DNA sequence: GCCAACGTTGGC
DNA sequence: GCCAACGTTGGC
């Protein structure tokens, strides 16, 4: 039996890379992660076949906009070796790369953005990291039940009081 | 643009 | 190893 999937939330600023960009590209390297906790999660816990919510930060509104799947893990992030890149890390080497990335593939774009404010209103999402104040981790683990709830929420009309 | 929250750096 | 200073994130 295959192992159970893990679920994630990946943050991106849509002005640099959006769900529309991912839909157009189909697949992309999730480069530029420069936080040790996020890196360790990708390195230790992320597996091919996992699913991830795509989250637009610094957007109006900020929120979850779609789903991607993890295709390949533990790829040395090429931007760390590129002096022209804003993600260049002079302390990293090709022999011992400090930063890794994963490649992800487009799964779906939600019909609507599920705003952060809406996530915070849902009692079912209590404890979901992204709803916590000051939580800036760009790669977050997500409980399966939270992942599925957000996906369901995206299919509902926002202000339909009767569906609660 | 503000600023709270948080991660990283570096002096000691 | 502590912790102040600094830089960044990201909602608002």
If you measure CA to C1', which residue is closest to nucleotide C11? A58
What per-residue confidence (pLDDT) applies to A61? 94
Cα gap A164→A159, rounded to integer Å: 10
Nearest C-alpha neighbor of A65 from the set A143, A122, A11 = A11
Nucleotides of C under 7 A from a protein CB: 8-12
Q: What is the mean pLDDT of each run of 10 residues along chain A (164 residues)?
A: 87 96 97 94 96 96 97 95 89 90 97 96 95 93 97 82 44
Q: Closest nt to A120 (CA→C1')? A: C11
Nearest C-alpha neighbor of A66 from the set A151, A137, A136 = A151
What per-residue confidence (pLDDT) applies to A112? 96
A154 touches strand C (CB under 7 A): no
How far: A60 CA to B4 C1' (Å)? 20
The pTM for the full model equals 0.91
10 Å CB burial of residue A34 (0-12, 13-18, 19+) is middle
Nucleotides of B under 7 A from a protein CB: 4-8
| Strand C contact residues in chain A (55-94), C-beta within 7 Å | 57-59, 62
For the record, the structure tokens of A54 come out as 């795509």
Q: Closest nt to A13 (CA→C1')? A: C10
A136 touches strand C (CB under 7 A): yes
How far: A70 CA to C3 C1' (Å)? 39
What per-residue confidence (pLDDT) applies to A159? 57
């Amino acid at each position: 039996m295959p192992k159970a999937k893990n679920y994630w939330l990946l943050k991106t600023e849509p002005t640099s890379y959006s769900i529309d960009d991912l839909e157009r590209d189909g697949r992309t390297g999730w480069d530029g992660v420069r936080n040790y906790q996020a890196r360790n999660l990708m390195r230790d816990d992320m597996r091919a076949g996992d699913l991830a919510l795509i989250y637009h930060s610094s957007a109006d509104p900020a929120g979850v906009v779609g789903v991607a799947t993890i295709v390949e893990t533990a790829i040395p992030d090429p931007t760390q070796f590129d002096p022209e890149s804003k993600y260049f890390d002079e302390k990293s080497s090709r022999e011992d790369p400090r930063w890794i990335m994963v490649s992800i593939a487009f799964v779906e774009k939600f019909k609507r953005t599920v705003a952060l404010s809406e996530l915070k209103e849902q009692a079912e999402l209590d404890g979901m990291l992204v709803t916590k104040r000051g939580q800036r981790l760009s790669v977050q683990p997500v409980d399966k039940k939270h992942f599925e709830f957000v996906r369901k929420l995206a299919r509902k009309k926002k202000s339909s009081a009767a569906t609660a």
